[in-house]
Chains A and B, each alone.
Chain A
Amino acid sequence: MGLWNWIEYGAWALSAAFGLHMVLDWLRTDSTYPEDVLTSSREGELEAMAEEHKVTS
């Protein structure tokens, strides 16, 4: 078997690893966090969130 055949197998294996990692992490995240937390992003609220950190002396 030539070098490029091994590289082909390597590409299949890496693709599967990346895909598997995403899917497993996705399932783990979905089962760990409540849905309303995951979908809590609101347009235009990021600045407001950053402003919550107030330094008090």
Chain B
Amino acid sequence: MTEVDITSKTIDGIGPHGVKVGLLRVLGPAHVWALGVGIVLVGEYMGWNFAVGKGGAYAALIACWFAGILYTCVAMIDSEVTSTVASAGGQYTQAKHIVGPLMAFNVGLYLVFAYTMLEAANAITAGYLVSVVATMTGHEGDLNQRPFIILVIMFLAWLNYRGVLATLTFNLVITAFAFAAILILFLSTSGIVGAGIMDHAALFEGHALPYGWIGILASLHFGLWFYLGIEGTTQAAEEVRSPARALPFGTLAGIMTLLIAATLTWYVCSGVLPWEFLGDGVNGSVAPLFDTARLSGSTGLVWLLGFGTLFATLASANGCINDASRAWFAMGRDKYLPGWFGAVHPRYRTPYRAIVFLVPIALIFALGAPLDQVITFSILSGLLGYTFMPLNIILFRRKWPLNSIKRGYEHPFHPLPAIMLLSLCGVTFFAVFLGYGTQLVAMIGFYIVVSLWFHFWRYRFVNRGAQFTMPWPKPQGY
């Protein structure tokens, strides 16, 4: 280790503990909640309504609750494993300790792709929202969205670069605002406060399930949109003050928040907007909650939901930068990728090289790829990650049974959630195959190719001795 003068004015940030520089443990459960819910809540504001287009309003509700069960299993399983394997990288680090290097490499890539694609999709959406505001305020002609797309990515990357506490406190404020906006819209339009404008019976008449049961199946994978990203809470594992408490608390509070937000969103929007309009997310209702506010006739609600939509988009992009960079950093630190990426900023204590490296990649996708393809790639990478989780928890419980190691949280009814999650993933894969078969096959092909590259080339550089860091006993059966 290099000798460094810790009293130097130039070399700042080196603590009295010596010359080792690691991530800072400064976060609490509220930040974990803000990270998980912040990434997801944009799905309530837009995107989920494609499920209505595929199968009608009831199909969207079934998809919402179906995905709700799937993600409750995800949240419970993640809470148990990550409160025990409390390190940056989240599911990547879990896979490394519990399954093996090849699985870990793949899971790491799922995470980075899912979050970077989602970040790009959010930046595109933010650019679109700014252009809508420009039109609403009298701007004539098409606004150039590019500077706003770039600004969103640059500003949030800069925020992430400067420190995790400010980044996730910012997320906490804007996510709480966006969630409160949904609650206020529900109270205002349902008749609880003031006159209600909902009329579910009239809007559903003759359109309960327009495409029958096949419509429900087709709508299933858009149900994921209500919750996609809650598993991102695990990436904060190395930066929370108390992993055993903050991670399960933040994650489980997050999924409860999302179940409420998703059901309210469906109820409010389907009771005000006709399903043909609601279900067309391209030419019809791009932002259903905002459209519902516009139909309410209240200027206050329009502004509230307008800002709610923008804040939800920013919170999602912000959380995605945080999560993708931690996964990339953790892979670099273990030499699954070049070790250069495993650097931590001595003053800001952030994985600064990983953050900066992922900026141009997000920009390329945000400026050069169509939104639907970007979203599809993100969902498919996420789905592969969810398929890994049940296998992971089954192996975890088998290798280290309860009471063999200390866990921050023990999820109930094992192995039922794992089996349920695996079954739901299977059904969702089939639903995705019906709609996006080519992309699914192409993506699996991509992961097979990079797996071969990792196995035959990259693995020789991996820091094999140092990658298993948990002070656990030998796994059972070994």
Contacts and interface: CB of A to CB of B under 8 A. Distances in A.
A38 B22 contact: no
A34 B4 contact: yes
A35 B353 CA distance: 12
Interface string A31-46: 0111111111111111
Interface stretch (B9-17, B181-189, B438-446): B9-17
A49 B469 CA distance: 15
Contacts of B238: 43, 46
B148 interface: yes
Interface in B1-41: 1-2, 4, 10-11, 14-23, 25
A41 B23 contact: yes
A39 B15 CA distance: 15
B4 to A, nearest CB: 6
A53 B154 contact: no
Contacts of A44: 87, 469-471
Interface string A4-23: 10001101101100110111
A21 to B, nearest CB: 6
B192 interface: no
A26 B354 CA distance: 11
A36 B45 CA distance: 45
A39 B340 contact: yes
A1 to B, nearest CB: 12
Contact of B147 (A12, A41, A50): A12
Interface residues of B, number: 57
A43 B143 contact: no
A23 B154 CA distance: 11
A9 B11 CA distance: 37
B139 A11 contact: no
A29 B157 contact: no
Interface stretch (B209-217, B304-312, B343-351): B343-351
B151 interface: yes
A9 B147 CA distance: 8
Interface string B148-163: 1011001101100100
Contact of B22 (A2, A8, A11, A49): A49
A16 B21 CA distance: 29
A36 B346 CA distance: 12
A43 B150 CA distance: 33
B296 interface: no
Contacts of B467: 43
B13 to A, nearest CB: 9
Given A4-B139, A53-B16, A37 B356 contact: no
A21 B339 contact: no
A57 to B, nearest CB: 18
Contacts of A38: 21, 343-346
B201 interface: no
Contacts of A12: 147, 150-151
B42 interface: no
A46 B4 contact: no
B134 interface: yes
A29 B342 contact: no
B22 A29 contact: no
Contacts of B158: 18-19, 21-22
22 contacts: A8-B143, A8-B147, A11-B148, A15-B147, A19-B158, A19-B359, A22-B158, A22-B352, A23-B356, A26-B356, A38-B344, A39-B344, A40-B20, A40-B21, A41-B22, A42-B20, A42-B22, A42-B469, A43-B238, A46-B25, A49-B17, A52-B18
Given A21-B158, A33-B346, 13 more contacts: A8-B147, A14-B155, A23-B356, A26-B352, A37-B2, A38-B344, A39-B344, A41-B22, A42-B20, A43-B333, A49-B15, A49-B18, A53-B16
Interface of A: 2-4, 8-9, 11-12, 14-15, 18-19, 21-23, 25-26, 29, 32-46, 49-50, 52-53
Interface of B: 1-2, 4, 10-11, 14-23, 25, 87-89, 93, 134, 137, 139-140, 143-144, 147-148, 150-151, 154-155, 157-158, 161, 238, 330, 333-334, 339-340, 342-347, 352-353, 355-356, 359, 466-467, 469-471
Would you list the 10 A-B pairs with minimal beta carbon distance, nearest first?
A: A44-B469, A11-B147, A18-B158, A38-B343, A18-B154, A34-B2, A15-B154, A41-B22, A40-B20, A43-B469
